[in-house]
Chains A and B, each alone.
Chain A
């Protein structure tokens, strides 16, 4: 039997043929039969994708019997082969460098820290063991020396406290001298007897007066009517 192609030129629909054919009774022996319809484009796709299994024996039989469908499948395979063997094209040399110039390579801090530590570690295992032992011994030695220094620290601490007290009393005396020179004895007495709030108020008033004085002087200096 010669398979017939539909008048529209397309291959006949296998699925349509299946739908219109009477259902095979379940007790009937299943034998491969040669399908009388051409491969549909969907059939060709299924063959190309390897989705057709042993249940499609009639289709295989039809392919063997129909040169037209065999040629159609062969062409489809040639197209797929041509696609799969297409060459890759390479961008111009230096492409990676141009990309990398625009990429922000950001190293997280923990990675940087780990990397730094790793850089100081020896590469071989025995060397790492020796380095660990050495580090442990060094730590122990540092601890012992530190404890001894702390036990001997009474005299330096006393000297330091005395020095601090001396520096404090000298700063206070200098402050008194400065206040005496600027405000006189009544001013010094007022400052010594004033509360913290009053002192703050006085300091604020002093700053405002000085500020206003400076602004006034500046205005006089740049005023065109007084510059000549």
Chain B
């Protein structure tokens, strides 16, 4: 069994093969290689460090416990990012489910009561984003990314942060190639518009 230092020089496919043979060191090497990119991707998707860590952990547990299902004709990292993205998107969808009426409480009897119970989602979200930008991510580009639609965000992060090709992104996110190009085009456009004022 190669040492940890030797494993660091192996290509993904070889490390995965060793992990499939039950070599714990190979499992750890896969986690070491991808913990930061996967955690960063998920953090930028869900915008909460604690949640991102839980979801990143879920991602690795799913992937490493089902390595026997991995098909070597795909890149391991594409498979990993696919699961990470699915985990993040599932979380975002679940978070939307327990909704509160933004029009105010249905039990309010007067207009004043209804106004008082209105949930100011927009303001809350803006505050959270501002806080995130200043406290956690600390830059305008992070804030602009956080404001993108999740689908655009996943595409643009995979394209420019992870350096994936359009074809890889399409395979990773199970989207048609044309849709990926459109999403990236729109994401770039929105980011340019968001950052344009800072330039002047």
Contact = CB atoms under 8 A, between A and B. Distances in A.
B104 to A, nearest CB: 37
A217 interface: no
Contacts of A88: 36-37, 39-40
B133 interface: no
A84 B60 contact: no
A105 B27 contact: yes
Contact of A83 (B32, B65, B160): B160
A100 B24 CA distance: 8
Interface stretch (A26-34, A60-68, A90-98, A159-167): A90-98
Contacts of A98: 57
Nearest to B159: A83
A196 to B, nearest CB: 55
A111 interface: yes
A76 B22 contact: no
A106 B22 contact: yes
A8 interface: no
A225 to B, nearest CB: 63
Chain A: interface size category? 35 or more
B158 to A, nearest CB: 11
A103 B61 contact: yes
B168 interface: no
Contact of B188 (A45, A99, A105, A108): A45
A102 B61 contact: yes
Given A79-B191, A95-B56, A103 B141 contact: no
Contacts of A100: 24, 27-28, 31
Chain B: interface size category? 35 or more
Contacts of A56: none
Given A79-B195, A103-B27, A42 B185 contact: yes
A89 B43 contact: yes
Given A82-B141, A83-B141, A90 B185 contact: no
B192 interface: yes
A228 interface: no
A107 interface: yes
Nearest to A82: B141
A92 B61 contact: no
B56 A91 contact: yes
Interface of A: 41-42, 44-45, 48, 72, 75-76, 78-80, 82-84, 86-92, 95-96, 98-100, 102-108, 111-112, 115
Given A90-B39, A100-B24, A107-B22, 8 more contacts: A75-B196, A79-B188, A80-B160, A83-B145, A86-B141, A102-B61, A105-B27, A107-B23
Interface of B: 1, 21-24, 27-28, 31-32, 35-37, 39-40, 43, 49, 52-53, 56-57, 60-61, 64-65, 139, 141-142, 145, 156-157, 160-161, 163, 181, 184-185, 188-189, 191-192, 195-196, 199
